[in-house]
Amino acid sequence: MIQNSPPPSHHLSWRPSAFLALLALVTSFLAGCATTTSNFSSGTYHVDAYAPTNPENVQVLVSLRSKIVYVMEGDRALLVTPASIGTPDHPTPTGHFHVTAKDSTKRSGEYGFWTNGSDTYAGSSGEGRSGYHYVGYPMANWVEFEPGFGFHEGYVWPVPRSHGCIRIHKNASIKFFKLVQVGTPVTIADSLPEDDTVGRNIVHPSDYKDPDPPASEMISPSYFSEPRDSELLQSK
């Protein structure tokens, strides 16, 4: 998920003034709508997820106040996980939606990297140098619910951080991706009754300040095949 700020390495060729300006933009925008989670330290964060009895009865609820995503089958919680949401300037939309698309290997069409062999630098899609090609930031396990808005893998900050997308942790992203299908209802509200029940004691991830992986990892197709916690448990 793009996450925070890419660390310098021998794989990167930085233009100091341009990079500092871009870094501020990346930290603001890509902390939400173009983020990745490659080899960042996932620590011990874990969330259980349960396979549904009937996938047609699954729905997704999002509480902006609690910053929690609930995947429900009736009144049974299949997955409850913290999320990053949009800032006041770029809010996450509220209302009733449906999943319109899924893409486990989605990349950003706006922000990412320009690369030429071992020389790579961060940049927007319209800022390339001659001889370089653009590779968007990975947004693994993308689940779209509105044009330009979706759930995807990324660092989960305890404060609003995105440009409106809803980021969930690496160790929850595939589970979420498996539980929903095109057409699954999505409700996003300021608060939900579940906040005081199944969401009351949810533990939030603490790895949101970890550094981004090297650009060489983030532009590689193998990024999306790195191990992630993906097990769906059978109902008790």
pTM of the model: 0.82
Considering only CA atoms, which of 103, 166, 101, 164 is closest in space to residue 136?
A: 103
Contact 170, 177 (CB under 8 A): no
Radius of gyration of the chain (CA): 17
Query: How many whole angstroms separate alpha carbon 189 and alpha carbon 30?
Result: 23
Beta carbons within 10 angstroms of residue 148's beta carbon: 11
- Predicted confidence at residue 60, as pLDDT, reads 98
- Predicted confidence at residue 125, as pLDDT, reads 94
68-73/76-82 β-pairing: antiparallel
* Phi-psi region at 177: left, alpha or beta (left = phi > 0; alpha = psi -120 to 50): alpha
Contact 103, 145 (CB under 8 A): no
DSSP 152-169: EE----SS--BSS-EEE-
pLDDT digits 0-9 by tens, 5-55: 332 223 333 343 443 344 444 443 443 354 333 333 445 689 999 999 999
Query: Which residues of the chain are modeled with pLDDT < 50?
Result: 1-32, 34-42
Q: What is the largest CA-CA distance in the chain?
A: 58
Query: How many whole angstroms separate alpha carbon 56 and alpha carbon 165?
Result: 24
Cβ-count burial 153-177 (b if 16+ within 10 Å, e if not): bbbbbeebbbbbbbbbbbbbbbbbb
Q: Is the dihedral of CA 235, 207, 148, 159 positive or negative?
A: positive
- Predicted confidence at residue 43, as pLDDT, reads 54
- Predicted confidence at residue 45, as pLDDT, reads 81
- Predicted confidence at residue 6, as pLDDT, reads 32
DSSP 7-73: PP-TTB---HHHHHHHHHHHHHHHHHHS---TT---TT----BB--S-GGGEEEEEETTTTEEEEEE
Domains annotated for the chain, with CATH where assigned, are 16-225 (2.40.440.10)
